[in-house]
Each structure stands twice: as C-alpha cells, then as structure tokens.
Amino acid sequence: MAPAKLHKKRTTLAAYRHEIESTLNILGVKKLDNEQINIALVNFPTSQRPKMIDAFNRANQAAQSVIPLEDEIAQMLQEGKATIAAGVIKATQDIHPEVEITFGEKSLQVDAMLKAC
C-alpha cells in the first residue's frame, strides 16, 4: 500500500463528496434525482439554468465515481492490513531498552538491547 496513492484517492473522494454536497445545496434538493432537479430548476432564472445543469452533470459524474473509489480505498486498506499482519520488522540500527516499536496495529516494547540485522 503506497501512502501517497491512498492519500490521493481519499482526497479525490472528499472532492467528489464536496462537489455532490455543494450541488445539492445550491439546487436545494436532497438527492441527485432528475425529477427533483427539474423541479428545482424552475426556481432559477432562465439565464442561470445552464450553469445549474452543468453543476448537476458534474455532481452526477462525481456520484458515479464515489462507489468504485470507495471500493479501491477499502481494497488498499485491506492489502495494507494484510501486509502488516504478515510483516517482519528488520532494524538497521541497534535498538535500546525502553524503546517501543510500532508498525501498524502491532507494537513491541524493547526490554533489552536488540542488535541490528
């Protein structure tokens, strides 16, 4: 699992969700539904309707990307957990007593000097 890739996917997911939420708030609707959007568009001046339709289309595209992206993130996290669960830590320097080594959800409290591998 590459932390940078995971971060990028999470950032993209947050941007998609923000796009959807912003569009829903602007249009004054609760969900991205053509019927609700058409009713909401009646409340906007004719000159603003193309902008609102574009916003709806962007939010709709974002909504279609959310579930696959959530699945990719979940898969990356699961792969990372599997790597950590099976992982072995190799020290490149000596580790002194009273040091705690943390790797994912695992940790090791060092009681005696550990020599580097």
Per-residue pLDDT of the chain (117 residues; tens, 9 = 90+): 577 898 999 999 999 999 999 999 988 899 888 898 888 888 889 999 999 899 999 999 999 999 999 999 999 988 877 776 776 667 788 888 888 877 766 777 888 887 876
One domain for residues 112 and 96? yes
Pairing of β 106-109 and β 100-103: antiparallel
One domain for residues 37 and 76? yes
One domain for residues 55 and 105? no
26: phi > 0 → left, psi -120 to 50 → alpha, else beta; which?
A: alpha
Determine the structural domain holding residue 98 and report its residue range.
Answer: 88-117
Tokens 């943390």 sit at which residue? Answer: 102
Would you say 14 and 66 are in contact if contact means Cβ atoms under 8 Å apart?
A: no
One domain for residues 73 and 98? no
Specify the number of domains making up the chain.
Answer: 2
